Amino acid sequence: METNVKGLYACGDCTGGLFQISKAVYEGTKAGLEVIQYIRKNV
């Protein structure tokens, strides 16, 4: 979920592909967990 900009994550409709609520919710959760890991390692 991390973009080519370090610390910037994308999910859901802005990543392309299917535009479904269930996919956006799943990817949002996954990105959120990755952000937490990023913050814990870098802050």
- Can you give the residue ranges of every domain in the chain? 12-42
Cα–Cα distance measured from residue 37 to residue 18, given in angstroms and rounded to the nearest whole number: 27
Is the pLDDT score of 39 beyond 90?
yes
Kindly state the tokens that stand for 30.
């996954």
Residue pLDDT, tens place only, 6-31 = 888 887 666 666 678 888 888 889 88
Kindly state the tokens that stand for 20.
């479904």
Q: How far is CA 3 from CA 11, 16, 22, 33, in A?
A: 10, 13, 21, 15
